Every structure is written in structure tokens, then in C-alpha cells.
Amino acid sequence: MSTIEAARAWLAQDPDASTRAELSALIDGATAGDPAATAELDDRFRTRLAFGTAGLRGALGAGPNRMNRVLVSQAAAGLAAFLLEREATPSIVIGYDGRTGSAAFARDTAEIMAGAGVTTTLLPRLLPTPVLAFAVRHLDASAGVMVTASHNPASDNGYKVYLGGADAGSQIVPPADGAIAAHITRVAAGSIVDLPRSSTYRIAEESVIAAYVSATAALVAPPTTPVSFVYTAMHGVGWETAQQVFARAGFAEPTLVEAQIAPDPAFPTVAFPNPEEPGAMDLAFETAARVGAELVIANDPDADRLAVGIPTEDGWVRLSGNEVGWLLGWRSALRASALGGDRVLACSIVSSPALAAVAAHFGLRHVETLTGFKWISRVPGLAYGYEEALGYLVDPQVVRDKDGISAAVDLLALASELKSGDITLARHAEAFAALFGGYASSQISLRVDDLAEIPRIMARLRAQPPGAIGGRPVIRVDDFAGGFGEFAPSDILRLWTDDGSRIIVRPSGTEPKLKVYIDASSTTGSARERLADAGAKVAALDAGMRALIA
């Protein structure tokens, strides 16, 4: 079948007027010999968005290589077939955020699931991802779907899948992803027009959201000392739920970044709606400086991530994901050690080794996983998990995924307790260095226009690994391509220098980026000297890696 024939077949089953018009114009252009239209059609139809352990994620538009109602309907029918294959009477709960297309994708999924005979519940309105993850367990559902592209650009949307039962509400991992993908491929051979649909799905009661709010607020004791903070939802869906949790936990109302508080799929005030991106938190910092706040709390658009800003002598700065991760890890270790038993602190391999030092200090086990909370959430005995990309799991008994709202509550409780002793988060970080060692990290994100550039760089590093980086000899290279230790095969390189510093290189799983993670530590001198020494090591390695992959 030619590309134009495939496009016409797609057009015939597309229920969305906007993508039909878009595709019709491209077909007309390609038929008339327009090279730009021909190239665009080829990009949209030469492949399809792969369904994997991150579900689906990609740019909105017509065609199998874009996110749209046809692709989502195929995914829903494939997932329904998978669930019906696993059990006689499966159930599913579906959530969605405020991105373009999210509500329609969620309704399509609900109708197709119900039409296939899956007991289906749709959350009542746009809500954060952690509420959906909670609902899978709370409703004892066989599965969950969250329609969101998290912190991706405004042009994207996505489709996350969770499994209940023995999977306890975690995101899918192999072999489930492959089995679902196989069912989707079979569905895609036909037309979605032939898929049975039903409107008999249920709308979840408000009690589901209330239960999440209650369970999340119960993580912390009522604050002893008020903390003034600024909150931004980054144009996402976090505020309504976060506001209820903050109030239920006893925290005073924050000052809001008004321009970013309401859901807006255009994300007009940020280049990328990701708190990690340069400039994304500028409005929050300006607001905090104006009102004299002590803290900035930011959620990403689907509120599964948390960013934290603090004032310094040089102005407001965002704590890194690792800095927040090890501070919350320290706090979680205190809780876990008090409870006793075999409890685990876990993080992804690209996150700071500092968590291992915390676990050792408290006699807890430490586990490293591949990147992604789908792995972290499955660690047996988990008391706390995090990854450096602003993801924190502080209450595994409530949600089996990263949760930016529960992490915010835990961080606010920590800030309140510290303030009672006239201690800032910055001073608390120094206390961490004094007790566990000074740790520093940095990350390089090389965004590419040509996706083929990423495998070329990885191949070059494998063929000619550097003998030194930033003036430090490289003494070992771990290649995960064929599997490494307990880890499944992955496109990851890990390099070790002679002073114990570590560099990890891998492609991003959700964005067109090559990512480099650099970590170093020091146990020499005072807390500040340890931090300075670790920071200097990281700075040298960072410069060396930038030159290497440029």
C-alpha cells in the first residue's frame, strides 16, 4: 500500500474533524506533487508510535506516527483485548489532564473499553496523574490509563498504562508492554469504525478524590511552624488537588503564580512546561521575591513531579532533583528505621549515590533500578524511591508511582520542622554533607533535531571510549547493551573515573535528547569543603563531557 493509499484509509476511519482536515490537505498536496506535503505524509505514515513501557507519547496530529483519536482507539482496543485475555471480568479506571485532546482520548478509551466488556470507570474531570495511580489501587481495578504527556512540549500528548492486582498499581513493564503492543497491531489491521463502543461506563464519585486527599495529607503531622511558600501548577492540573491536600494537612494557603495556576494546554508562559528547563520557574521566583516567601513549590503539568526553590545570597535557585531526593530520602529513612523490618530505599541508576549512603547509615537496604518509576515502584519492601528527574515516591502504601503532591507535603513538613529550630533547607543540606558526605551532580541534555544523531554518538562512545574526562582517568566502562548484572539490556553506558566519580550516558525515553548524568562525592574537610570539592569534580567532568559529545 502506498503512503497516499494508507493516508486515505486512515482518513476514512478518523472521527476527528480537525485531523481529517489536516490529513486531507496533506493528501491533496502530495497528490499535486508538493514535496513538503509528500515528506510530511511520509513522516506520519512510514512508522507508528511505538507502544512500550512508557505507553504512548508523541506529537499531536493525523497518522499512525502521531497522537490522535484513531491511534488512541486502537490502543484502547488492544489494551482491552489484553485485559480480557488475562481475566474473565477485568476493570479499568481512566484519567486525563488538561492537554489538547486529553478529554476526547479518555472518552474514546472509556467507550471502547465498555464496548469490549471491560468494567470501566472514568474520573470525573481533569486531574493529576497521582490521583489516577491512586484510583487503580483504591478501586481495585485491573488496570488504569492516564492520558497525559506529563512535562513534554505543548504539541505532545501521551497514554500511560498501569496494572492492578499483582502489579499493585505500577506502570507496565515487559512482557506486558509487548503483549499489549501485539494486540494493538492486530486491531490496527482493521478500522476503528468496526470497534464496538458503549456509553455504559461509570463516572467516578468524588469520594475517590477525597480518599486520595485524606491519605496524602495523613503522611505528615500538622505543621508546628507556618511556612510561607509560593505555588505554581505550571499551567497544569495540580492546583485543585494540591490545595485540598495542603489545607487538609494544616498548611496555610500559598501565594499563587496566577499566570500559571489554571490549566492551559498552550503553556503560554514557558518554552517547555518542565520545571527542570531553564526559565520555567522564573515567574515563581519573581513572585517569591516580591512577597518575601521562604520556599517555592512547583508541580509539572500532571503533578507527578516536584520542583523546589529556595532563596540564597545570589537570589532564588532551584534545588536539583538529587538534592531534593536525598533530603526526602533522609527523612524517609528516619521513618523507616523507626518502623523496623526489612525496608528499602531505591533510586534509578542515574540518580545520586547519596541515597546509598543514607541507607547504609540507617541499616536499610538500598536498591538501584533502571530509569523509570515503573521499576522503582516494584522494588519489594520499598519505603522510599526517587529519580533525579524530580520524581519522588514518599508513600508507597498510597501510590505506586512518583507523586509531586505527596512529595510537596513531605517537603513542606520538613521545612516547618526545620524552621521551628531556626534552620533553613540550605543549612539542612550542609548537615547532610557533614553526616553522609558531600555529593554533587550535573546533567547534560543534548536535544537533537535528527534522532539518528543519538545512536551515532552512543556508537562512537562504545567504539572509542574516552581514556580521560575532565582531566580524570577513566578506569572502567560498563556497557548495559547486552545486560549488566541484574539489569536487562539497555542503551546505557556508565563510566568510572579514578576518584570514584561516575558518568552515565543514555538516550531519553520520552524526548529527542541524549542525556548525561555526572556524580561525584567527597568526605574531606568540613561540610562546606566537602560540597565544594564534590562540586569542583563535577564541574570538570561536565566540561569534559560537553566537549566529548559536541
What the block records as the C-alpha cell of 67 is 497522537
Q: Are 146 and 241 contained in the same domain?
A: no
CATH number at 362 reads: 3.40.120.10
Mean pLDDT within 524-532: 96
Judge whether 96 and 103 are in contact, CB under 8 Å: yes
Helix (H, G, I), strand (E, B) or coil at 345: strand
Residue 341, pLDDT score: 77
Query: Is residue 176 scored above 90 in pLDDT?
Result: yes
Supply the range of the domain harboring residue 332: 321-402
**Domain contains 263:** yes
Angle at 492 between CA 491 and CA 497, to 5 degrees: 160
State mean pLDDT over 420-448.
95
Q: Give yes or no: residues 176 and 71 share one domain.
A: yes
449 assigned to some structural domain:
yes
Spatial separation of the C-alpha atoms in residues 78 and 189, rounded to whole Å: 11
pLDDT tens digits for 472-513? 999 999 999 989 988 989 999 999 999 999 999 999 876 788
What is the per-residue pLDDT for 338? 86
User: Is the pLDDT score of 458 beyond 80?
Assistant: yes
Is 301 inside a domain boundary? Answer: no
CA distances from 38 to 35, 43, 68, 534 (A): 5, 9, 20, 52
Q: Is the dihedral of CA 85, 87, 91, 97 positive or negative?
A: negative
Average pLDDT over residues 527-543: 97
Mean pLDDT of the chain: 96
- Selected catalytic residue, list 91, 142, 150, 406: 150
CA angle (467, 388, 155) in 5-degree steps: 105
Same domain, 164 and 58: yes
Number of H helices, E strands in the chain: 17, 22
> How many angstroms separate the CA atoms of 135 and 121, rounded?
10
Q: Are residues 41 and 61 in the same domain?
A: no
Question: Which pLDDT score, from 0 to 100, does residue 510 have?
Answer: 67
Neighbours of 264 (CB within 10 A): 19
Do residues 496 and 534 share a domain?
Answer: yes
| Same domain (yes/no): 245, 185 | no
Largest CA distance in the chain: 74
Phi and psi at residue 452, to the nearest 5°:
-65, -20
Interatomic CA distance for residues 64 and 23, integer angstroms? 12
Closest CA to 466 of 451, 480, 476, 455: 476
Q: Based on the number of CB atoms within 10 Å of its own CB, is 70 exposed (0-12), middle (13-18) or buried (19 or more)?
A: buried
User: Are 114 and 178 contained in the same domain?
Assistant: yes
CA 200 to chain centroid: 32
Spatial neighbors of 433 by CB under 8 A, at least 6 apart, are 439, 527, 528, 530, 531
Q: What is the CATH number of the domain that holds 445?
A: 3.30.310.50
428 lies in some domain = no
CB-based contact 266:154 (threshold 8 Å): yes
Please name which of 49, 41, 55, 54 lies closest in space to residue 6, comparing C-alpha atoms.
41
Q: How many residues does the chain have?
A: 550
> Quick one: 43 exposed, middle or buried, by C-beta within 10 A (0-12, 13-18, 19+)?
middle
pLDDT at 344: 97
Residue 262 lies in a domain: yes
The average pLDDT across 402-427 equals 97
CATH number at residue 242: 3.40.120
Could you tell me if 518 and 542 are in contact, meaning their C-beta atoms sit under 8 angstroms apart? yes
Q: What are the helix (H) ranges across 260-314?
A: 282-291
Beta pairing class for 344-348 and 365-369 = parallel
pLDDT (0 to 100) of residue 75? 98
Domain annotation covers residue 409:
no
Nearest to 90 by CA among 122, 118, 132, 121: 118
Q: Residue 342: what pLDDT? A: 84
Global confidence as pTM = 0.95
DSSP E strands in 437-488: the ranges are 438-447, 468-469, 472-479
Q: What is the pLDDT of residues 63-95, one digit of tens each?
A: 999 999 999 999 999 999 999 999 999 999 999
Report pLDDT for 450: 82
Going edge to edge, which strands form the sheet with 306-312? 255-256, 229-232, 295-299, 306-312, 315-318
Using CA atoms, how far residue 466 sits from 145, 382, 470, 474, 476, in Å, is 43, 37, 10, 7, 10
524 phi/psi in degrees, rounded to 5 = -105, 125
Q: If we measure between CA atoms, which residue out of 509, 476, 468, 471 comes closest to residue 494?
A: 476
User: Could you say which of 169, 204, 239 is where a domain stops?
Assistant: 204
Q: What is the pLDDT of residues 139-148, one digit of tens each?
A: 999 999 999 9
Q: Are residue 184 and residue 129 in the same domain, yes or no?
A: yes
Residue 509, pLDDT score:
72
Say how many C-beta atoms besides its own lie within 10 A of residue 470's C-beta: 21
- Do residues 468 and 377 share a domain? no
Cell output for 77? 482496543
Which of 260, 235, 254 has its CA nearest to residue 408? Answer: 254
Residues 64, 33 share a domain: no
Split into its structural domains, the chain has a count of: 5
Assess if residue 152 is contained within a domain: yes
Determine the residue type at 540. A
Q: Is 31 helix (H, G, I), strand (E, B) or coil?
A: helix
Q: Quick one: average pLDDT of 10-22? A: 97
Q: Mean pLDDT over residues 170-195, rounded?
A: 96
Same structural domain for residues 453 and 543? yes
Could you say which of 346, 377, 402 is where a domain stops?
402
**Inside any domain, residue 407:** no
Residues 57 and 188 in one domain: yes
| DSSP bridge pairs for 521 | 439
Task: Report percent pLDDT > 90 for the chain.
Answer: 92
Residue 406 designated active-site = no
Region 357-384: what's the mean pLDDT? 95
CA distances in angstroms from 15 to 259, 277, 422, listed in the order given: 34, 36, 60
